[in-house]
Amino acid sequence: MAEITLNAAVRSNLLTLSNTQSLIDKTQNRLSTGLRVASPIDDSKAFFEAKSLSDRASDFSEKKDGIDQGISSVKTALEAVEAVDTLVRQLKGLAISAKSATGTELTSIVSQYNSLRTQIDNLAGDASYQGLNLVNNTTSTLAVSFGTATTSTLSIAAVNLQAGSAGLAVTLAAASATTTGEIDFSTASGADAAITELDTAITTLRGNASSLGSNVALLQARLDFTKSYVNGLEEGAGKLTLADINEEGANLVSLQTRQQLGISALAFAGQSEQSVLSLFR
């Protein structure tokens, strides 16, 4: 097949058009994807720097979810403490009433007291979040990780809010002195002993509430920081890879104009050969 010989002007214009089309394709791709750097080919340094930032953001996003769940766990425990505190104060009110009660009234108070005491155990047993209960024993621990370093963690030990001796140490009540292992509400000294137990329990609950409240505040502070940190990392990655849509749009208009001018220039370059051809007609 015979080769077609093109003059220098035509070759130059064809090369320019080819380069312009390549730039148009690249600009259109940036506009469609929103990315200035989509692969190492575009800009290896920016691509891998952005990937490093994105990977770290992903790591801390996972930590953020864990912290958020940790807050919910501790809030559940704190709400349980506050509810148990309400029950203990009701018990104290019954113990105070027992000091002046006799007969059937005393029997009713003792029954209410022991029933309410049982509700403390029930409440503490129900206060679980995702299978973790921080208020019905002292063996469970909530461990919340804040970062990639192994030392960046917070451990929150469970407390025991059950009414028994291992927890709040609230003794069962009795309406007479014949029952062993229970506090005799038929005497003022017995009721006073129960009130003393309940005051101690209230003090314990206040300490638990203070500790859990401090942990919630700490976790919330770390959650707020992690959200801000992840946003900063993603923003930094975007600065390295995202396209400026306004700039790329202006570039596309400019390139399309250049393409039209190139096509016109190619036509002009071809006219010179047509002029030569006309001499032979």
Q: Domain coordinates of the chain in residue numbers?
A: 8-34+243-278, 49-240
Total length of the chain: 281
DSSP 29-84: HHHHH-BS--SHHHHHHHHHHHHHHHHHHHHHHHHHHHHHHHHHHHHHHHHHHHHH
208 φ/ψ angles, rounded to the nearest 5 degrees: -65, -45
Alpha-carbon Rg of the chain, whole angstroms?
Answer: 39
29-72, pLDDT tens digit by residue?
665 566 667 778 778 898 899 899 999 999 899 899 999 999 99
Closest CA to 195 of 119, 113, 135, 104: 113
Let me know if 214 is exposed, middle or buried by CB neighbors in 10 A (0-12, 13-18, 19+): exposed
pLDDT of 114: 96
Q: Which residue type sits at 209?
A: A
DSSP 156-219: EE--B--SSTTTT--PPEESSTTSTTSEETTSHHHHHHHHHHHHHHHHHHHHHHHHHHHHHHHH
133-189, pLDDT tens digit by residue?
999 987 899 999 998 777 789 999 999 999 998 999 999 999 988 778 899 999 999
pLDDT at position 278 over 60: no
Q: Model's pTM, two decimal places?
A: 0.74
Q: Which residue type sits at 98?
A: A
pLDDT at position 25 over 90: no
**49-240: in CATH 1.20.1330.10:** yes
List, in order, residues 6 or more apart from 276 with CB less than 8 Å away: none
| Contact between 161 and 84 (Cβ < 8 Å) | yes
